[in-house]
Amino acid sequence: MTAWRERTAEPTGVEPTGEERIDAALARLGELDGLGTAEHVGVFTAVHGELVAALDETRDEAAPDAIPAALPR
């Protein structure tokens, strides 16, 4: 186990948020450990996409007047 791993509370070093979709997306960062640097981009892209989808869903569920007009819908 590396020194970095010993210092982290979670396998990915990310504390749980309590939001299932967010936690599942962030848990994928644990995949980075066994991959070469060139393969990290794919994992980061997938995690980013999952986080954006979760945010979009939250925005879609929000009351229309709760979203600033400057944000595109």
Segments forming the whole domain that contains residue 57: 18-62
Scored b (16 or more CB within 10 A) or e, 29-55 reads beeeeeeeeeeeeeeeeebeebeeebe
User: How far apart are the C-alpha atoms of 47 and 37, rounded to whole Å?
Assistant: 16
> Residue 34 has what pLDDT?
86
**Residue 3 maps to a domain:** no
Q: How confident is the prediction for the chain on average, in pLDDT?
A: 77
Q: How far apart are CA 15 and CA 1, in angstroms?
A: 19
**Above pLDDT 70, what percent of the chain?**
64
What pLDDT sits at residue 71? 58
**Per-residue pLDDT band at 64 (split at 50, 70, 90):** low
Task: Supply the DSSP symbol for 11.
Answer: T
Let me know if residue 71 belongs to a domain.
no
pLDDT confidence of 73, banded at 50, 70, 90?
A: low
What is the tally of structural domains in the chain? 1
Give domain status of residue 52, yes or no: yes
What confidence score (pLDDT) does residue 47 get?
95
